[in-house]
Structures are given as C-alpha cells and as structure tokens.
Structure 1
C-alpha cells in the first residue's frame, strides 16, 4: 500500500461509492496480511485455548467467504452444490493444516483479484440492489460487501489474539 492507505477515497476504475468500498476492503486486507507476515507453518496451524480456529483456518475462511459473496452478489444466485463443496471447509472453519503462509496469501490475492475485476464491471447503483440475505432477511449489495470485510476484521482480531498467545508461549 502506498502513503494513501489511511484515506477512504475513490479508486481509479471504480465509481465513487464502489471505490470507497474497495478502499476500505484493501486496507483491511493489507492489515490482515501484515499480521501474518513471517509466521511459520506450525504457528499457522496452532490452536490456542479459548479459540477453536487456527490462523490458517481463519485465512482460508476469509478467502472462502469473499468468493462465496462474489457468486451470491455478482452472480445473483446461491452457490451450486459443487461450489459449496469446494468452499465449505473454509466457510465453516473446518480443519485445514499443513499449508505455509504463501498458500493463504496467494489464495486471498487470487480471490481479491477476481473481486476487483467484478467490481470494475458495475456502477455505484449496483450497491443498492437488494436480494435475500440469510434465511429471513434482505440486504443490499453494499451491506453484503461491508459484511465481507467486517467478517475479516472480526477474524483478524482472533488472529491477533492467537499471535499474542504464541509470542507469550515462545518467550516462556
């Protein structure tokens, strides 16, 4: 990120509202990736007391959720059985072990690249389009994409707690 990372602003190639949303999503991803820089495979796979998830599981979850929302919002449909089967372990935070940080970073980058390509094809008015959200609600696309990075922020907090505990263990 450049020195503009602390600005929520329009982004070239996108309308003003989409650009601001992208700006927030990119900063969120930037800070998430900073949290996991230099972590070992063992650190990525470790679970700590009070948290059922490893850092690797949380990173895969972030990528899987973003890809699912690509399908649901840009495709304006539910996931197919095949898509659900491919994304389920990440979405449901099921165990995944044995991957270096590059695996997760590459997966997040691949999904984000596609997200940006899809956002480049819509205008600001697309953000106001409404559709079902969950079983009993409706939401607009703006909220759904806010939810994507809100979820990432929540799990980044978990990552920070895990990293803190790992550092405490290593210092003892």
Structure 2
C-alpha cells in the first residue's frame, strides 16, 4: 500500500534514469515539492511582499530558482557559458536586488509555477540523455575552483532549499504583520 505520498521521504531510483541520476532527481523532486508547498495559494500582493520594503520578494526568489536551474542546464549539459542574449534574459533573476524587484512583480503564482515547471521539464529531459559517469566529470567552477556535475546539480537544489527557507521567513513575517 505504498503511494507516492508515502514514498516522499525515500531517495530512490527513478524510472527512465540511471541509478545515481534517479537518486539525484529524487532529492530534487522532494526539494521542489517543499518549495511548492511553501508558496501554495499566495496572492500577487503576498508574492511581491518584502520585509520592511527591502530585500527579496517571494516572487523574485521563485523566479531566481528557475533562472539558476536554466544556467546550470547550459553550463553542464551544453558545456558552455550562457550567451549574451541568455544572460540578458536571465540576469535579473540571477542577481536579484532592486532591479529584480522592479521587474519581477505583479504576477500571479501561476506565472512562477510555469517558469519552474518549464525549466524542470527540460532538466528531466536532459538527464534522460546521460549516464551516471557524467556526474563525476570535473570542470572549472568559478575562477579558483573545480567541481563535478554532481556537485553542480546538488548546488541547484541547495540554492532552492536556502531560498525556500527565506520564503518561509518572509511568509512568517508577513503573517505577523497582518495580525498586528
């Protein structure tokens, strides 16, 4: 009597993927489900809320998550840096800050969910095309480091987990403010 919900705390192989990739994706799936749970039912005003009118909004953080995942698709699966055009489109979500807050607002939750879903669908398709050994491939990581693809994709959902924590903090602050 195992249902998908009963297995959400099981890191396991995933049908259609090699064993290690399936396990990585299993962790990414769990991370995404907790993110989606944290933003369920938010209004436009809640998505745009910033603590004391500063910092990141929940909407900006969600957009950032999608942009980070897309950049890692490019850098790992295509083994290249983003083009000038790609960076122009992605930078506002990658860098966040005031510019992002001015550009990423007044959008319904469906906009952010679609961004996250679209980029994840591509990630899943790309992971179907590789073998576990790809995860061990090492290449430069920033100006002073190297990393393997396993770390890079761990970092994608690590970043999401960190921002999901920020989302929960923002929601708690917003709820306390509404109570007063």
TM-score, normalised to structure 2, is 0.93
Distance in 2, Cα, partners of 1:71 & 1:36:
27
Distance in 2, Cα, partners of 1:3 & 1:86:
39
What is the correspondence of 1:14-25 to structure 2 with a 5 Å cutoff?
14-25=17-28
Cα-Cα RMSD: 1.2
TM-score, normalised to structure 1, is 0.97
Distance in 2, Cα, partners of 1:56 & 1:50:
14
Which residue in the other structure is 1:28 paired with? 31
Deviation at residue 2 of structure 1 after TM alignment: 3.3
Q: Does 1:160 align with 2:168?
A: yes
Counterpart of 2:15 in 1: which secondary structure?
A: coil
Counterpart of 2:12 in 1: which secondary structure?
A: coil
Distance 1:50 1:23, change over 3 A: farther
Given the alignment, which residue of 80, 83, 87 partners 2:83? 80
Which residue in the other structure is 1:43 paired with? 46
Which residue in the other structure is 2:138 paired with? 130
Counterpart of 1:79 in 2: which secondary structure?
A: coil
Q: How many residues align?
A: 172
Distance in 1, Cα, partners of 2:13 & 2:29:
12
Deviation at residue 3 of structure 1 after TM alignment: 2.3
Moved more, 106-115 or 86-95: 86-95
* Runs of at least 5 residues in structure 2 that lack an aligned partner in the other structure: none
What is the correspondence of 1:54-65 to structure 2 with a 5 Å cutoff?
54-65=57-68
Counterpart of 2:147 in 1: which secondary structure?
A: strand
Which residue in the other structure is 2:92 paired with? 89
* Runs of at least 5 residues in structure 1 that lack an aligned partner in the other structure: none
